[in-house]
Chains A and B, each alone.
Chain A
Amino acid sequence: MAPAEAATTVHAEPAISVRNLRMGYGTKVLLDQASFDVQREEIVVILGGSGCGKSSLMKNIIGLYPPMAGDVLIAGDSIVSASPADKAHIQRKLGIMYQSGALFGSLTVLENVRFPLDEFTDIGPSQKDLAARLLLRTVEMGYAESLMPGELSGGMLKRAGIARAMALGCDILLLDEPSAGMDPITAANLDRTILRLRENLGFTFVVVTHELSSIFTIADRAVMLDPVSRRIIAEGKPSELRDQSKDPRVRQFFNREPDALPNAGTKRT
């Protein structure tokens, strides 16, 4: 088979390491001095209010946008300073689901999931179909395999996008708001799938989300961004952040409390 690959690969370095990252658009800084590691077999969620740069952070991690400063290491290799060829090689280690699913509009759902297998493997055609169908079944999309992306709802697009992200067997998966727009049962099933993949295959997940129930179910660790201070304001186990954080912004987020009203505290006369 592949004798070069050791029976048990020991990963000393973290799957993803973000070091002193500063990112933004033009001259506008969205996030500064961001440092955190994602260890192998860990599920880390990136969270924060709308517009705080969660999706942008993910795009910096996967090398789509160059950061303004700092570095991102994928399994020990810098994706920021890599040459274009090396960067493509590093990016192929990552399975990525974009917020909208980003399926190719001219291919059916099955063809979309099979696409990475077609491009990068020498597996036989009927076997690729079987592998793609099993993946679609994992995300409960088996019934939609011959539909075009234009015929799918938002939640279905996301699920097919997850199946495509997993197709090449990358063991580091980055999911941008996977459960937004899904019904609660499908979202819970997706959480279970994520946990099973981690438990049985040792997958690493970085999930951008603000679905609290999903965060408490799957996350080992949460990294919380703040749009005002443009820093990571909290990092830790979600339940501990909820119950023990000294930062009121963090507690407010995890307890789903509304902002104080501007006139709160003034008694009506």
Chain B
Amino acid sequence: MMDDSTKTGDVSFALEGRLTASNIGPVWAEAAQTLERNPDRRVVVDASRLDYVDNTGIALLFDLKRRRRPKGAEIEIQGLAPNLATLVPDDDPEDLSGAAPQAPSVGLFEQIGRATEQQITYVRRMLAFLSDCGAALLLATRRRGVVRWSETLIVATEAGANAVPIVLLIGFLMGVIIAFEIGLVARQFGAVIFVVDGVGVAMLRELGPLMTAIVFAGRTGAAFAAQIGTQKVNEEINAILTFGLDPIHFLVLPRLLAAVLVVPLLTVFADVVGLFGGALVLVSFDIGFVQFYNHLLGAVGMNDLLVGLLKAAVFGFAIAAIGCERGLSTGAGATSVGLSATSAVVTSIVWVVVLDGLFTVLLSG
């Protein structure tokens, strides 16, 4: 226990028993207060009944020892057992006092500059990466054995076949939702039959590819970034490079090809169940399946399906490329893998929507 007792002008207190992390908090605070209250008096610390200290106790003793105080107001630790005394460091390096160094704060202009530079670097790296991918694809068409088809098949299974249930569910629900929404409005005008046009065009040209791409970005784009990012952290990428192999051929090409093949296929699934969902809803608006089918044939053409599939292939390429690029530019540690995966999903979805807009403008004119 601590007791302030004043005799001969000195302040003294005692440290007793066992001082450990669990009980040292109040003792330390009291000691610090005692020292602050008596800046110009000698302080005697009686440590003769101190049995045991842990690291925090050592830190307390060091804290008492290192304080610089004016002459006549020194701190004297008395009776500290030799085994404990050897553990308390003697010197007072400057770096142990004060708060942990903070990163210097960055001004507004510097922030804008850094962000701009970061974006320029990113665009430049993405362009370089895309040209590398293009070159790899070109080489793949000319020379046999460049593409690792077995790997491509494994990726396609995981990214494609295993994604069928979720794509079916989302496609079906999209068909149901838009048929219902348009149906309610169209009924007011007695134009329910034109809902078939709406559902057909919307599913085939827009929602089929778009929803599939968004599922693919969340499911597979993130997985690509996390897989390749973890390989980067574990130095597998370096191992590939020092074998004289190209990570683009080795890791990226199979994923790109798988994505370009699989996203249009998934889109077909989404289209079919979406139309089926729409037809199901329209039954409740008194339009039978046969009527729906006959009207659909007049409303949409092969052209609409192909535009949707072309979009899907481009989306697939973009998502896979962004996922792989994010993976390859992962920094060190688990945190950066997480950042890469997040960034892959966000960037992919933004780009899918931007590309969708471009398609709409180009193909409508």
Q: 23 A-B pairs, CB-CB below 8 angstroms?
A: A1-B17, A7-B17, A7-B49, A105-B335, A108-B100, A117-B56, A120-B22, A123-B21, A123-B24, A123-B28, A126-B99, A129-B99, A129-B100, A131-B55, A131-B59, A133-B96, A134-B62, A135-B55, A167-B55, A168-B54, A169-B56, A200-B83, A200-B86
Q: In the assembled complex, which residues on chain A have CB atoms less than 8 Å from the CB atom of B51?
A: 7-8
Q: Answer yes or no: B361 CB below 8 A from chain A CBs.
A: no
Q: In the assembled complex, which residues on chain B have CB atoms less than 8 Å from the CB atom of A116?
A: 21
In chain A between 116 and 137, which residues have their CB closer than 8 angstroms to a CB of chain B?
116-117, 120-124, 126-127, 129-131, 133-135, 137
In chain A between 1 and 36, which residues have their CB closer than 8 angstroms to a CB of chain B?
1-3, 5, 7-9
Per CB-CB distance, the 3 closest pairs between chain A and chain B, nearest first, are: A169-B54, A150-B333, A122-B25
Pick the residue among B49, B53, B101 that contacts A201 (CB under 8 A). B53
Distance between Cα atoms of A111 and B101 in the complex (Å)? 12
Pick the residue among A3, A120, A124, A129 that contacts B28 (CB under 8 A). A124
The answer to whether B54 touches A201 (Cβ under 8 A) is: yes
Count, chain A residues at interface, CB 8 A = 46
Residues 159-203 of chain A, each 1 if its beta carbon lies under 8 Å from chain B, else 0: 000000011110100000000000000000000000010011110
The answer to whether A2 touches B332 (Cβ under 8 A) is: no
Q: A127 with B63: in contact, given A105-B334, A120-B22 (CB under 8 Å)?
A: yes
Chain A's nearest CB lies how many Å from the CB of B67? 11
Q: A2-B23, A111-B100, A169-B20 given. 12 additional CB < 8 A pairs?
A: A1-B19, A5-B18, A121-B56, A127-B32, A129-B100, A131-B56, A145-B100, A150-B333, A168-B21, A196-B86, A200-B86, A201-B54
The answer to whether A146 touches B101 (Cβ under 8 A) is: yes
Count, chain B residues at interface, CB 8 A = 48
Q: In the assembled complex, which residues on chain B have CB atoms less than 8 Å from the CB atom of A131?
A: 55-56, 58-59
Taking CB as reference atom, which chain A residue is nearest B18? A5
Q: Answer yes or no: B336 CB below 8 A from chain A CBs.
A: yes
Q: Answer yes or no: A269 CB below 8 A from chain B CBs.
A: no
Pick the residue among A108, A127, A137 that contacts B89 (CB under 8 A). A137
Taking CB as reference atom, which chain A residue is nearest B57? A169
Taking CB as reference atom, which chain B residue is nearest A3? B17
Distance between Cα atoms of A66 and B126 in the complex (Å)? 48
The answer to whether B333 touches A110 (Cβ under 8 A) is: no
Pick the residue among A121, A150, A196 that contacts B22 (CB under 8 A). A121
The answer to whether B21 touches A117 (Cβ under 8 A) is: yes
Residues 147-182 of chain B, each 1 if its beta carbon lies under 8 Å from chain A, else 0: 000000000000000000000000000000000000
Pick the residue among A2, A124, A142, A145 that contacts B18 (CB under 8 A). A2
Q: In the assembled complex, which residues on chain B have CB atoms less than 8 Å from the CB atom of A127?
A: 28-29, 32, 56, 59-60, 63
